[in-house]
């Protein structure tokens, strides 16, 4: 396999450590320049994808935007390319979602994750690869939030600071994860707790575990970052436990957070799998 990221020994160790500890880990990579990750190429990609694959808003946001309603830009499809090309001066923030819809970017995503995901999740445990490109004007802020997948953010151009946090208790993490799995917004209602800053320059990256508090502060120049994400079998089981806990809570019970009682987690995950299969069978029979 031809290496694209050229992860050094320390980065490989860091990703393995991340899989063992579930904590953020910094890495280095060789994706500082790539023909598919120039601003011009990404502008072309953005206009070629469905409209719901592009999200943009003003970049100057506070640390907390609890409802996720950041002020949007008045940009129609015909102005999208110009908006992206003008990011150095127009104060905007933009994400191109699910870049794997384009065959060339799908191949790029696969090349990256072929080198990463097994180190974190173990051989044969990863699925649902997705890629996102973040384009940020100088000084932009991505408010505090959580994400439901494994994520390695690879800095390609410009600088930014990723701020990660730690949950006070497993119950605190589970409450936010359960809210997100239940359809709540990924943005948090509070700033990062127990913050740790990770300064990223081109060639730097960071692994962010699922449901980790984080926010991003852009540096003084245009930033381009590629986020390569995946799900794992263990993460899918945790989602089932979170959904089971929601049902138990509605019944007036106080279920344990995922990870605190592994045997009980397995029972919950199995029960949810049976329930989901039964629902699917009922839908097919209609």
CA–CA distance, 192 with 138 (Å, rounded to integer): 22
Whether the pLDDT of residue 85 is over 70: the answer is: yes
The per-residue pLDDT for 31 is 95
Q: DSSP letter at 31? A: T
Whether the pLDDT of residue 1 is over 60: the answer is: no
Tokens representing residue 8 in the block: 């050094």
pLDDT digits (tens, 9 = 90+) for 204-241: 999 999 999 999 999 999 999 999 999 999 999 999 99
R_g over Cα of the chain: 19
Nearest Cα to Cα of residue 242 among 169, 146, 176, 145:
176
* pTM metric for this prediction: 0.94
């Amino acid at each position: 396999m031809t290496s694209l990221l050229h992860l050094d020994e320390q980065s490989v160790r860091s990703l393995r450590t991340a899989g063992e500890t579930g904590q953020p880990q910094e890495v280095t990579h060789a994706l500082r320049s790539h023909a598919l990750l120039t601003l011009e190429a990404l502008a072309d990609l953005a206009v070629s994808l469905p409209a719901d694959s592009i999200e943009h808003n003003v970049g100057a946001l506070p640390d907390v935007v609890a409802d996720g309603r950041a002020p949007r830009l008045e940009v129609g499809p015909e102005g999208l390319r110009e908006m992206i090309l003008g990011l150095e001066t127009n104060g905007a923030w933009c994400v191109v979602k699910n870049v794997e819809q384009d065959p060339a970017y799908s191949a790029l995503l696969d090349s990256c994750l072929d080198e990463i995901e097994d180190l974190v999740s173990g051989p044969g445990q990863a699925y649902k690869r997705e890629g996102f490109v973040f384009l940020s004007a100088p000084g932009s802020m991505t408010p505090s939030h959580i994400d439901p997948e494994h994520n390695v953010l690879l800095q390609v151009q410009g600088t930014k600071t990723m701020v990660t946090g730690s949950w006070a208790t497993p119950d605190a993490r589970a409450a936010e994860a359960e809210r997100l799995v239940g359809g709540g917004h990924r943005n948090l209602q509070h700033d990062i707790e127990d913050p740790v800053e990770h300064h990223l320059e081109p060639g730097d990256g960071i692994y962010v575990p699922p449901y980790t508090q984080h926010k991003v502060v852009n540096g003084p120049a245009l930033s381009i970052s590629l986020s390569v994400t995946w799900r794992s079998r263990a993460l899918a089981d945790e989602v089932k436990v979170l959904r089971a806990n929601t049902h138990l809570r509605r019944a007036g019970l106080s279920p344990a957070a995922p990870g605190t009682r592994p045997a009980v987690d397995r029972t919950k995950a199995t029960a949810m799998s049976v329930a989901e299969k039964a629902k699917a069978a009922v839908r097919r029979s209609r």
